[in-house]
Each structure stands twice: as structure tokens, then as C-alpha cells.
Amino acid sequence: MKVVKFGGSSLATGQQVNKVINIIKADPDRRVVVTSAPGKRFAGDIKVTDLLIQYATQVQQGSDYQPTVTAISDRYQEISDYFELPATTLTLIQQKLTALATTTFSDDDHLMAAFKAHGELLNAILLAAVLNQQGIPAKFMDPRTAGILVTGQPNDADVLPATYANLAQLQPQDTRLVFPGFFGYTPDGDIYTFARGGSDITGAILSRGLSADLYENFTDVDAIYAANNHVVDHPAVIQKMSYREMRELSYAGFSVFQDEAIIPAVQGQVPVNVKNTNNPSAPGTLIVPSQFVFNPASPITGIASSNRFSALYLHRYLLNKEVGFTLKLLEIFRRYNISYEHMPSGIDDLTIIFDRSKLDSATIKALCNDVRQTLAPDYLEWIDDYAIIMVVGEGIAHNIGTIGKVIDSLTEHNIAIHMINQGASRISIMLGVQSKDADNAVRRIYQTFFQPSEVTNQ
């Protein structure tokens, strides 16, 4: 049995949904289907999830939300009209959409989560109706009925282990089960969404919970490339990669697969196949355990970059001798309820790297003051503009000189490296650079490893 997840770009229009129907039809093993909300139809378009965020904000602020409701409803209507569905499905969708504005929520975060989840919820109802109308028996599955239980934050949920026991009770038969991605329910019955891009997580949870043979993740590119295709022209295709390579690359910017989504797949040892809805016969990229991947001839599998970071740099002489210094620092972070991403250190220096998207300016100011007062560093600097480059490959640990080649490719082009961290995972090299240099750094490293003849000719 296969779980198939379709991303927002695959469900953006009636024409796209038609391709999805053909993909489901082509393989009777594709019995569990996960939907995203309708995504962008063209460059500059707005995803339904973003329209729902706008709707939620307008309701919270008491401003006119009607045009937004119409814009969202039109997206579902476009698909419904394409298949000439009877009016009942669209009416149901419109009722659920409109009812949100008058529903009471315990606070703004719960309201936001419930609004956002409706993008996938309504699309799953619609897709199930389209499948039935096309002669493919299908049933909409509410995550509440299926027992997808979550905890954590309303807009950044974590799956609860009980989910897997609940899903094991489901027996997918010939009727295709259509699940909305992106959200689950708390044991108290509240909707919590996963992080953005989280329909990938739902697909992985279902793959593990239902012991799928394969998790197919359909998107709008032929494969996962060795570098972001918006940064490098026609990058090489990755045919096969390991779970941990995917985890590191998606964390550091390969947005094609959400970075937390690999975890349930690893736990269930379900292979993942990323494929193209617009070209389903292309083999795509297969993501599997490490032992099936290692290729001594090519140390690097991919190069990712992300500008979403900031760093706190701290210098104090004899830091290495001071017992409990890092503990005090971590206690400050806990007081502010802040998690950090990385903490590379020297003898007298420490850099703490944060995900900037999780911090606001007031918190940063208060945090820096607290660190100054509690730890009296000789020097403290908040570096707002920080990018991380991640060079990833199972072969790195076995190839002497890889790090030297990475550094040379940057220094030869005057790209300053603020931090290098190799070792912890043994399959990646992490570099800190200024955001303005990030794309260029990826291009240079890519050329060194994937187009060496072009480097020599420059």
C-alpha cells in the first residue's frame, strides 16, 4: 500500500487536480491520499493558506473579511466547476468557510490554527467528491475520526505517539481514503497545525501509522536537485539519498520536503519517493536508509542555504575555565522560552545561532541585555544577518579534503566565512556567511563538486 501526498501546486487548479486523479487511477496501491490546500497557480499568486491567514487576521481585527472569503471560495469553485460537480459539495465548503468567522476560540493562536487547517480540510472534501464523481470510490477522512492526535503549540504541533496505535486500527480497503494534511487534534478536540509545509508531515505520519510500503510525495519538480533550482541553473538530479541527508538539507533550505517530515518515515522505515505531478513517469528522488546510498566516488549529495538565521556572538577571556558558564546562558534562553539551533565555540568565544523567524525584536533586545548583565562578556554582538550553508553527503566522513575544497571555493571568490562546523553529524559541513553571499556561496561550492571543468576554465 502506498500513501500519496499532493502539494499545493499539484492541487491549485482543476487542470492540476485532473493530473492528480490520473495518478491515483494509474496505481491501485495508491490507497491513502493526502491533500494540501490549493497553492500558487502562477508566480505572484497567493496560496489559500496565506488567504486563510489574512481571513483570520481580519476577523481578529474586526475588519472587513468578506472579499477574502470570496477569494478563498473562488479557489474551490474553480476546481468544482472544472469537474462540473453538483452544487452540494461547494455549498458545504462555503458553509464551513463562512462559519469560521462566528466560531469562538480560546485565544488568537487557536483561532489562527483552525482557520489555516481549513485550506487542506476543504480541499480533501473536494478531492474525495471529485474522485467519486470520476468513478473512483473515495472517502474523506477527518483526522479526528482517524485519531491523529497532537500536542505542542497551536501553530507548531507535534504528533502524539497514540496516533500510531489509532492509525493501526484503520484498514484501507478498495475505497481510497482522502486525508487533509497539515493538522491534527489535541486530546481536548482543538485543531493544531504543523509548521508551514506540514502536509508532508501528515503524509509521513500516515505512512508510518499504516505501515505503507512507499510514501510518494508529489510536487512540481522532476526530482530533488543537488542545489535549489532557483539558485543554480539546471542542477543535477539526486536519484537516491539517505533519510539523514534529506533531514539536513531540508532543515537548511531544501523546501521541497518539510524538514520534520522525514522523522516518522525514519521511525517507520518507509521509503519516500519525491515525484512530479506534471511528469509522473520521471523516477523522482528516492529517500532511503543510509546503507542503501553510500557512493564513495561522490562525497557531496547536496548544498543548501537558508537566510532565516541570526547569531549572538560572545567573547570572554578564560571562558574555557569557567564552570557553569554555558549553563547560565542556557538558563537565560529558557527564561525567554527560546530554543537555539547551533552553538559552535572556541577557547574564549561562543556563537549561538537562532532561527530568526521565531524571535521578535523586543525579545532580542531583552535577551542581549540579560546576557550582558548576567555574564558580563568582554564583547557581545547580535548578528541579525546570518545565513547557513549546509554541504551534505554520506561520503563526507570517508573523503579526506572535502572541507578544504569547500573553503577554497569560497575564499577564491572573496566570500567571508564566519563559522565552520564539521563533525557532529559526520555527513555535513555547516558554514556561516552573510546573507548577501549565500546564493553565490552555493553556486561556487556546486561548481567545485558538480562542474569541476567549468571551475578550471574560469
Ligand X SMILES: N[C@@H](CC(=O)OP(=O)(O)O)C(=O)O
Q: Among ligand ADP, ligand X, none, what binds residue 209 when CB lies within 5 to 8 Å by partner kind?
A: none
Name the residue nearer to ligand X (CB basis): 111 or 300: 111
Q: Among ligand X, ligand ADP, none, what binds residue 220 when CB lies within 5 to 8 Å by partner kind?
A: ligand ADP
Does position 9 interact with ligand ADP (CB under 6 A)? The reply is yes
Q: Among ligand ADP, ligand X, none, what binds residue 198 when CB lies within 5 to 8 Å by partner kind?
A: ligand X
The answer to whether 396 and 402 are in contact (CB under 8 A) is: yes
**Beta carbon of residue 259, minimum distance to ligand X (angstroms, whole number):** 12
Binding part of the chain for ligand X, among 92-100, 191-199, 311-319, 400-408 by CB under 6 A, reads 191-199
Name the residue nearer to ligand ADP (CB basis): 164 or 257: 257
Name the residue nearer to ligand ADP (CB basis): 100 or 256: 256
Selected from 199, 242, 310, 402, the binder of ligand X by CB under 6 A is: 199
Displacement of CA 349 from its chain's centroid (Å) = 32
CA–CA dist 355, 359 (Å, integer): 7
Displacement of CA 435 from its chain's centroid (Å) = 20
Q: How far apart are the first and last CA of the chain?
A: 50
Binding part of the chain for ligand X, among 88-96, 193-201, 297-305, 415-423 by CB under 6 A, reads 193-201
**Beta carbon of residue 369, minimum distance to ligand ADP (angstroms, whole number):** 38
Which cell goes with 84?
Answer: 462540473
**Beta carbon of residue 182, minimum distance to ligand X (angstroms, whole number):** 4
Which cell goes with 356?
Answer: 530568526
How distant, in Å, are the alpha carbons of 117, 140, 246 from that of 5? 16, 14, 17
Selected from 198, 235, 299, 377, the binder of ligand X by CB under 6 A is: 198
Q: Among ligand ADP, ligand X, none, what binds residue 448 when CB lies within 5 to 8 Å by partner kind?
A: none
Selected from 141, 150, 256, 410, the binder of ligand ADP by CB under 6 A is: 256
Which cell goes with 316?
Answer: 570572554
Name the residue nearer to ligand X (CB basis): 49 or 163: 49
Q: Under rule CB under 6 A, which residues in 24-53 are in contact with ligand X?
A: 36-37, 39, 47, 49
Name the residue nearer to ligand ADP (CB basis): 224 or 375: 224
How distant, in Å, are the alpha carbons of 112, 125, 132, 190 from that of 89? 24, 8, 12, 24
The answer to whether 117 and 142 are in contact (CB under 8 A) is: no
Does position 207 interact with ligand ADP (CB under 6 A)? The reply is no
**Beta carbon of residue 280, minimum distance to ligand ADP (angstroms, whole number):** 13
Selected from 163, 193, 202, 228, the binder of ligand ADP by CB under 6 A is: 228
CA–CA dist 452, 295 (Å, integer): 18
**Concatenated DSSP letters of 240-303:** EEEHHHHHHHHHTT-TTS-TTTHHHHHHHT--EEEEETTSTTS--EEEE-GGGT--TT----EE
Residue nearest to ligand X (CB): 8
CA–CA dist 39, 41 (Å, integer): 6
CA–CA dist 458, 454 (Å, integer): 6
Q: Among ligand ADP, ligand X, none, what binds residue 37 when CB lies within 5 to 8 Å by partner kind?
A: ligand X
The pattern of x and - marking residues 164 through 203 that bind ligand ADP according to CB under 6 A reads: ---------------------------------x------
CA–CA dist 243, 263 (Å, integer): 8
**Beta carbon of residue 261, minimum distance to ligand X (angstroms, whole number):** 9
Name the residue nearer to ligand ADP (CB basis): 193 or 219: 219
Residue of 49, 34, 56, 216 whose CA lies nearest to 143:
34
Q: Under rule CB under 6 A, which residues in 31-70 are in contact with ligand ADP?
A: 36, 39
The answer to whether 302 and 250 are in contact (CB under 8 A) is: no
The answer to whether 271 and 287 are in contact (CB under 8 A) is: yes
How distant, in Å, are the alpha carbons of 201, 304, 354, 419 from that of 430? 25, 10, 14, 8
Query: For residue 455, what is the enclosing H or E element?
Result: helix 452-457
Does position 255 interact with ligand ADP (CB under 6 A)? The reply is yes
Binding footprint of ligand ADP on the chain (CB under 6 A):
7-10, 36, 39, 197, 219-221, 224-225, 227-230, 254-256
Binding footprint of ligand X on the chain (CB under 6 A):
7-8, 36-37, 39, 47, 49, 119, 181-182, 196-200
